Amino acid sequence: MVASRYCEGGRKIGGPYIKYLLSLAANLSLHKITKIPTHDMTNAFILYRKEVLDNIDIRSSGGFEVTMELIAKAYILGYRITEIPTTNRDRAAGKSNFRLFKWIRNYLYWYFYILIYSVVRRINAHYLQDTRKK
């Protein structure tokens, strides 16, 4: 179960506007293009079954990229993904660890990993349909 800031009923309050825009654009485009049933691939508030985590080899080193990897691989392996709306408020105190250039590289890696998998999956599905018709 994925908590989502970007589904109906969810929202994001505060934080850098550029971070919000990049996150929103990437998350919603992944949802629309890949059909992964969550609007928020980068929210770390997720409930997993132990079986899912036992069956996924995690390559990421930390942060949101682990979240994107786990959701993508759970989807690829056929696990059911559901989402619930959440309200995310930016920190009221302390220092952010957000570093745009480090963040964007890892984000883009998983974004294109998911996107490429989705395209290949659709091509294979069409190919299999065509061979069944003959």
Q: Could you state, in order of their start, the residue ranges of all structural domains in the chain?
A: 2-89+97-133
Expressed in angstroms, the distance from the first to the final Cα of the chain is 41
CA gap 46, 116 in Å, rounded = 24
pLDDT over 90 (residue 133): no
Higher pLDDT, 60 or 82: 82
pLDDT value for 49: 94
Q: What is the pLDDT of residues 25-56, one digit of tens each?
A: 989 999 998 889 999 998 889 999 999 999 99
pLDDT over 80 (residue 18): yes
pLDDT value for 53: 94
pLDDT bracket for residue 91 (50, 70, 90): confident
Q: Which of 89, 49, 88, 57 is nearest to 73 (CA)?
A: 57
